[in-house]
Amino acid sequence: MLPFTRPSIGDEEQRAVAEVLASGWLATGPRVAAFEQALTDYLGGGVAVRVFNSGTSALEAALIASGIGPGDEVVVPAMSFAASANVVVRVGAVPMFVDVDPVSRNLSIETVEKALTSRTRAIIPVHFAGRGVEMGPLRELAAERGLLVLEDAAQAIGTRIGDKPVGASGNPVCFSFHPNKNMTTIEGGALACSDTGMVRRAERIRFHGIERDAQGAMDVPEWGGKMNMPDVNAAVGLVQLTRLDAFNRRRRELALGYIERLPRHPAVTLPADAPGHSWHMFCVCVDFTALGTSRPAFQERLQSLGVGSGVHYPALHLFSLYRKFGYKPGDFPAAERIGEQTLTLPLFPDMTGDDLDRVCGALQQVLDGGAS
């Protein structure tokens, strides 16, 4: 079975983990400090990086450190993973969903402007599947209105916008290093930001609100959670980061191979390439209704041919939690169509050309009515 994703873990990562286990220092320690510096060097732009136990924790800490809370509204695209909006609810704010572009699956300046109210405090653009959001207009709008821009780059480590990597902008940017991401720390995430005040607060928030003075005396000036990354995870990340650019080059080769080789069919819409795209996922849209089938049945037929697939993602505003805020079907047509039709095909660096042909052939066979 060819899965829709698989982490690329080699001997070097295994040796790095063994070294940490042998060292006796398993919690946050020297590997975390080294990983934070390596990420800082990789991103550039004068930002500081702090790592967390997940990308979700990084987003939550960034919102808290920015003072976002009850009574505030935060603009979020209706097409993303649940974490993008869950963290808004977690801090007591209200997610204001906006529709997305049907091709890029990213929000736009036009959709954001329509959602702004006197209570809007922040915008969370999501770089969907590794395709960078057009950030210039959003930053200008945010500067005019005094809004925070918190980039959800969980799927975009290594993505570039213009001549800069995502994360080098200076405003807070959060990454995920979950096993299905372009690089992994097993579980983990990071916050990159040039605001030293926010960075300092994020450090406290990720570990019980604790800070220490020059003599080591401890104080707890504010609430904090337990969001720190262990050294074992950082050791994996240090190796993975050296391989990231090669991983992304291979992802791009595979994605372009899909675009070239996948069958052209009126019921199938392919994603489009873009400069700097890191191709975290390859998500097609399939009009299952036009084919007289359902997504589960379609996926079962692919699986019978040895090809796994995923669903990324259902439209956020239609989940039960968010219907409580008054959202309903028909609010965001593009996100809803994507949510109903999306299908994620296998894409990971260790895939071969034969694997690519296998997926394309299987998709063609299912579209032709083959496989049971």
What digits encode the pLDDT tens for the residues 45-103?
999 999 999 999 999 999 999 999 999 999 999 999 999 999 999 999 999 999 999 99
Confidence of residue 372 (pLDDT cuts 50, 70, 90): low
Confidence of residue 330 (pLDDT cuts 50, 70, 90): very high
Whether residue 192 sits in one domain with residue 44: yes
| Domain end residue (candidates: 221, 239, 257) | 239
Write the CATH number for 256: 3.90.1150.10
Whether residue 179 sits in one domain with residue 128: yes
What digits encode the pLDDT tens for the residues 12-45?
999 999 999 999 899 999 999 999 999 999 999 9
Whether residue 313 sits in one domain with residue 212: no
Whether residue 290 sits in one domain with residue 202: no
Beta bridge partners of 77: 98
Q: Give the residue numbers spanning the domain of 317.
A: 244-367
pLDDT at 179: 97
Whether residue 248 sits in one domain with residue 234: no
Whether residue 164 sits in one domain with residue 16: yes
Residue 77's contacts (CB-CB under 8 Å, 6 or more residues apart) are 84, 97, 98, 99, 100, 105, 106, 107, 124, 125, 126, 128, 316, 335
**What amino acid occupies position 201?**
R
Handedness of CA 318, 282, 161, 194 (dihedral sign): positive
| Domain end residue (candidates: 173, 208, 239) | 239
Q: Which of 114, 164, 181, 328 is catalytic?
A: 181
DSSP 230: P
Domain count along the chain: 2
Cα 108 to chain centroid distance, Å, stands at 17
Whether residue 214 sits in one domain with residue 126: yes
Residue length of the chain: 372
pLDDT at 91: 98
Is the pLDDT reported for residue 278 higher than 60? Answer: yes
Domain contains 3:
no
pLDDT at 369: 86
What digits encode the pLDDT tens for the residues 206-251?
999 999 999 999 999 999 999 999 999 999 999 999 999 999 999 9
Whether residue 295 sits in one domain with residue 165: no
Distance, CA of 127 to CA of 214 (rounded, Å):
39
Whether residue 322 sits in one domain with residue 178: no
DSSP 285: E
Catalytic site includes residue 226: no
